[in-house]
């Protein structure tokens, strides 16, 4: 390259650099006079210099929604939380991500520990890993319930502050507004929502919308009482006290009773869930300990019986954990996270599969159809009948296939054990030395040679085995071990030849499949039983609602029924039918309601409503509730104590069942039985 060309390039670069500096200075002066500089200063003043967990959760949420499996579960989780964090997207994302990350952090060590402990048993490892997903799902439910419990405790303080604010302003909406200014509490968001309802142009419509999204029934009662007080005005009770504040006290007492009930249930069940899980994690450590210290137990733990015992303990643990979860359920989160279009619906939409499912679903109007429909209502199941039968058919098929696969695995395990078990000519009670173990392995290899050569002949005899042994390099005609070794090889051949799928094993698989087919029905029956235990508690809640409404002017029987329907759970279906038929005939609708319930306290409430329809005012019809208020409150406390005690007894029996089976059925009984059998064989050999 010439010198002139280098000069031109150098001067051009210098000129370009100068132009860039001039452009930068001009642009910098313009930006200094614009709003950009002010925005940068504001950002500099508000920017966090340290690490912020709030920002971390928001960024983690954006990351999690990009991961396929976690995205679906995160959306399922936030559907439950967004009801509590009403109209607060920031808090909903933060809480949902916080709970999900906690679950992942807990799951990863458990999965790693399970893989390490069960790496030699692939079947058990697979069962445990699937089971751990259900455990984490339950833990997530517990975290959401904890948020709901904290909201309930905040409501107690919130209502206490409402009392003071109402004394000061003497206006419902103004008192709620002033107390809801505290943004740090979740209950303040609910208060703001109730305030917006009260000052809206159409409060009745907005109130009905709020009833669908309120986190718990106590906020529904508070919103309804506040609206009625604003519309109809407050009035003084017999003791010259505010009726609105007395109703607030009634709601507060209900919440305090509920908080005590939940705390006691959590205390009773706080360790039962862990106790029901631990046995499946101890299966492999106990097995390895027994084999290493008592070698004679290897025939049990490495054989078919050991695998059957392991699977039975795992199944028992799964059942115990599900039942413990159902027992502990306190109904804390009222919103349902059930998908409106689950996989069962997609299966049922397939024309071919729909015909298969419909062949199992009872005909409408038949006795079985009515019985199943009644069970769905009594167990408060949100699923349709067709979905239940999709589940039942799937459980039947999965259980049958899993049982056949498991049976095949048992046969394979028995054959592998014959080929790999160290073989000795004498009974060994303790642990073999390295030299003895080496000799036992050589004898096993020697037996395997004859097994491979002679297997398949189902009618083989000891004499035939002897002739084959003499022809080999291992034995001679005068070998003193020829007879005993031939009998041992015959026993092994019988095991290898007989280990195949048999007809009765298919019948057993069908029996287990029928149990799987009935499992959803049995679970609904269990839920029905648990709901019946809570029936008295719900009737007492009805009595409290009637106590709040009976003294408010313009309240009639139909309005009371609407309130009872809104807050009912167990009696929701008959009360809803009564409300729908009320216009056609009030007395007849209430009579139908009375005939459809069996609880005596509920029947007395319906009879009082019938009296209030035609004969006497509502206040006089329920005057015994007001007179016996203290008695009903004490009775409810006693009922809750009995309810928790009964649940605790059932929970302990169910929760400790896997642990008892582990130590008794998997450790003590095999150890004692096999030990006695081995000692008997050893003594016989010595004699």
- The pLDDT tens digits for 353-408 are 888 888 888 888 788 888 888 788 777 677 788 888 888 899 999 999 988 988 88
Percent of the chain with pLDDT over 90: 2
The residue whose two tokens read 């290897």 is: 298
Helix (H) or strand (E) holding 678: helix 669-686
User: Over the stretch 505-551, which tens digit does the pLDDT of each residue have?
Assistant: 889 899 989 998 988 888 888 877 777 767 777 888 888 888 888 87
Average pLDDT over residues 436-450: 78
Q: How many Cβ atoms sit within 10 Å of the Cβ of residue 429?
A: 13
Range ranked top by mean pLDDT from 9-18, 31-40, 68-77, 583-592? 583-592
User: Over the stretch 59-73, which tens digit does the pLDDT of each residue have?
Assistant: 888 888 888 777 777
Q: How many Cβ atoms sit within 10 Å of the Cβ of residue 340?
A: 7
Structure tokens that stand for 657 in this block: 């069942």
For the ranges 139-143, 428-432, 461-465, 620-624, the lowest mean pLDDT is seen at 428-432
Given this model, what pLDDT does residue 10 score? 60
For the ranges 21-30, 243-252, 331-340, 542-551, the lowest mean pLDDT is seen at 331-340
Given this model, what pLDDT does residue 510 score? 92
Burial class of residue 440 in the structure, from the number of CB atoms within 10 Å of its CB (0-12 exposed, 13-18 middle, 19+ buried): middle
Burial class of residue 198 in the structure, from the number of CB atoms within 10 Å of its CB (0-12 exposed, 13-18 middle, 19+ buried): buried
What is the DSSP code (8-state) at residue 502? -
Given this model, what pLDDT does residue 35 score? 47
**Considering the entire predicted model, what is its pTM?**
0.68
What is the DSSP code (8-state) at residue 295? G
**pLDDT score of 430 more than 80:** no
**pLDDT score of 44 more than 80:** no
Distance between CA atoms of residues 511 and 527, nearest Å:
24
Where do runs of H (alpha helix) occur along 170-242?
172-179, 186-198, 203-213, 217-232
**pLDDT score of 624 more than 50:** yes
Given this model, what pLDDT does residue 458 score? 76
Q: Residue 236 pairs with which residues in a beta bridge?
A: 242
Selected residue with higher pLDDT from 309 and 87: 309
Average pLDDT over residues 176-194: 81
**pLDDT score of 418 more than 50:** yes
Those residues whose C-beta lies under 8 Å from the C-beta of residue 545, and which sit 6 or more positions away, are 221, 560, 563, 564, 567
**pLDDT score of 456 more than 80:** no
Average pLDDT over residues 592-609: 83
Q: Which has the closest alpha carbon to 536: 632, 673, 461?
A: 632
**pLDDT score of 429 more than 70:** no
Distance between CA atoms of residues 124 and 134, nearest Å:
16
The residue whose two tokens read 């009392």 is: 163
**pLDDT score of 1 more than 70:** no
The region, left, alpha or beta by phi > 0 then psi within -120 to 50, assigned to residue 273 is alpha
Contact criterion met (CB below 8 Å) for 390 and 348: yes
Given this model, what pLDDT does residue 334 score? 41
Selected residue with higher pLDDT from 7 and 612: 612
Average pLDDT over residues 553-561: 82
Selected residue with higher pLDDT from 83 and 543: 543
**pLDDT score of 326 more than 80:** no
User: Over the stretch 241-289, which tens digit does the pLDDT of each residue have?
Assistant: 788 888 888 888 888 888 888 888 888 787 777 787 778 778 878 888 8
Distance between CA atoms of residues 139 and 103, nearest Å:
7
Contact criterion met (CB below 8 Å) for 180 and 195: yes
Q: Which has the closest alpha carbon to 597: 616, 573, 618, 613?
A: 573
Q: What share of the chain is helix, strand, coil (3-state, %, to 5)?
A: 80, 0, 20
Q: How many Cβ atoms sit within 10 Å of the Cβ of residue 89?
A: 10
Contact criterion met (CB below 8 Å) for 421 and 298: yes
Confidence of residue 333 (pLDDT cuts 50, 70, 90): very low
Selected residue with higher pLDDT from 137 and 413: 413
Where do runs of H (alpha helix) occur along 270-380?
272-293, 298-301, 304-328, 343-349, 351-358, 367-378
**pLDDT score of 36 more than 50:** no
For the ranges 94-103, 396-405, 449-458, the lowest mean pLDDT is seen at 449-458
Selected residue with higher pLDDT from 244 and 117: 244
The residue whose two tokens read 């916080």 is: 98
Query: What's the angle, vertex CA 659, arms to CA 528 and CA 263, rounded to 5?
Result: 50
Structure tokens that stand for 680 in this block: 């008997």
Average pLDDT over residues 605-620: 81
Residue 236 backbone phi and psi in degrees, to 5: -90, 140
Residue 242 backbone phi and psi in degrees, to 5: -70, 130
Contact criterion met (CB below 8 Å) for 460 and 454: yes
Confidence of residue 51 (pLDDT cuts 50, 70, 90): low
CA dihedral over 9, 10, 12, 17, signed as positive or negative: positive
Percent of the chain with pLDDT over 70: 85
Report the mean per-residue pLDDT for the chain: 78
**pLDDT score of 336 more than 50:** no
- Coil, strand or helix: which one is 242? strand
User: Over the stretch 625-639, which tens digit does the pLDDT of each residue have?
Assistant: 766 677 777 777 787
**pLDDT score of 433 more than 70:** no
Distance between CA atoms of residues 562 and 566, nearest Å:
6
Given this model, what pLDDT does residue 337 score? 41
DSSP 423-436: P-SS---SPPPHHH
Distance between CA atoms of residues 491 and 461, nearest Å:
11
Q: Residue 242 pairs with which residues in a beta bridge?
A: 236
In terms of C-beta distances under 8 Å and separation of at least 24 residues, what long-range contacts does 38-47 make, across chains too?
none
Average pLDDT over residues 316-341: 64
Confidence of residue 39 (pLDDT cuts 50, 70, 90): very low
Distance between CA atoms of residues 633 and 537, nearest Å:
11
């Amino acid at each position: 390259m010439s010198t002139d060309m280098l000069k031109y390039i150098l001067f051009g670069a210098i000129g370009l650099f100068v132009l860039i500096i001039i452009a930068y200075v001009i642009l910098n002066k313009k930006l200094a006079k614009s709003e950009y500089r002010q925005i940068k200063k504001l950002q500099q003043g508000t920017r966090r210099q340290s690490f912020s967990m709030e920002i971390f959760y928001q960024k983690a949420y954006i990351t999690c929604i990009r991961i396929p499996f976690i995205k679906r579960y995160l959306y399922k989780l936030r559907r439950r939380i967004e009801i509590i964090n009403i109209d607060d997207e920031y808090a909903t994302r933060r809480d949902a991500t916080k709970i999900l990350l906690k679950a992942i952090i807990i799951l990863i060590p458990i999965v790693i520990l399970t893989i390490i402990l069960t790496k030699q048993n692939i079947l058990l490892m697979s069962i445990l890993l699937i089971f751990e997903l259900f455990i984490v799902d339950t833990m997530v439910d517990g975290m959401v319930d904890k948020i709901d419990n904290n909201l309930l405790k905040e409501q107690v303080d919130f209502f206490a502050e409402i009392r003071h604010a109402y004394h000061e302003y003497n206006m419902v909406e103004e008192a709620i507004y002033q107390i809801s200014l505290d943004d740090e509490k979740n209950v303040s968001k609910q208060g703001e929502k109730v305030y917006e309802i009260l000052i809206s142009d159409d409060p009745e419509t907005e109130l009905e919308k709020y009833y669908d999204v309120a986190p718990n029934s106590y906020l529904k009662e508070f919103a309804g009482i506040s609206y009625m007080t604003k519309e109809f005005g407050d009035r003084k009770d017999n003791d010259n006290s505010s009726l609105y504040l007395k109703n607030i006290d009634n709601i507060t007492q209900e919440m305090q009773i509920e908080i005590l009930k939940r705390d006691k249930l959590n205390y009773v069940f706080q360790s039962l869930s862990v106790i029901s899980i631990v046995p499946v994690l101890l299966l492999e450590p106990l097995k390895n300990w027994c084999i290493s210290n008592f070698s004679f137990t290897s025939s049990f733990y490495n054989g078919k019986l050991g695998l059957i015992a392991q699977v039975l303990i795992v199944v028992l643990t799964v059942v115990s954990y599900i039942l413990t979860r159902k027992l502990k359920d306190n109904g804390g989160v009222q919103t349902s996270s059930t998908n409106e279009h689950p996989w069962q619906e997609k299966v049922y939409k397939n024309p071919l599969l729909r015909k298969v499912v419909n062949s199992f679903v009872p005909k409408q109007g038949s006795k079985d159809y009515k019985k199943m429909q009644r069970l769905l209502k009594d167990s408060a199941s949100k699923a349709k009948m067709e979905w239940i039968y999709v589940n039942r058919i799937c459980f039947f098929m999965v259980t049958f296939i899993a049982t056949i696969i498991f049976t095949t695995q048992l046969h394979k395990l028995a054959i592998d054990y014959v080929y790999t078990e160290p073989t000795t000519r004498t009974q060994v009670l303790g642990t073999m030395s390295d030299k003895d173990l080496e000799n036992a392995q050589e004898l096993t290899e020697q037996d395997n040679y004859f097994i491979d050569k002679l297997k398949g002949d189902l009618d083989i005899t000891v004499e035939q085995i002897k002739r084959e042994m003499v022809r080999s390099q291992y034995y001679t005609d005068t070998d003193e071990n020829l007879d005993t070794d031939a009998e041992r090889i015959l026993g092994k051949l019988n095991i290898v030849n007989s280990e195949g799928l048999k007809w009765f094993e298919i019948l057993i698989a069908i029996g287990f499949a029928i149990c799987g087919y009935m499992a959803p029905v049995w679970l609904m029956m269990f839920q029905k039983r648990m709901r019946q235990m809570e029936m008295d508690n719900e009737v007492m809640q009805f009595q409290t609602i009637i106590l709040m409404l009976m003294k408010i002017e313009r309240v009639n029987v139909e309005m009371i029924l609407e309130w009872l329907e809104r807050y009912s759970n167990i009696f929701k279906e008959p009360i809803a039918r009564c409300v729908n038929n009320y216009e056609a005939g009030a007395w007849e609708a209430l009579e139908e309601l009375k005939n459809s319930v069996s609880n005596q306290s509920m029947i007395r409430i319906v009879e009082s409503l019938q009296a209030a329809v035609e004969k006497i005012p509502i206040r006089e019809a329920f005057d015994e509730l007001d007179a016996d208020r203290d008695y009903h409150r004490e009775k409810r406390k006693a009922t809750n104590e009995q309810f928790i005690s009964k649940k605790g007894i059932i929970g302990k029996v169910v929760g400790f069942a896997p642990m008892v089976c582990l130590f008794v059925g998997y450790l003590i009984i095999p150890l004692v039985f096999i030990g006695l059998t081995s000692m008997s064989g050893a003594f016989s050999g010595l004699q």
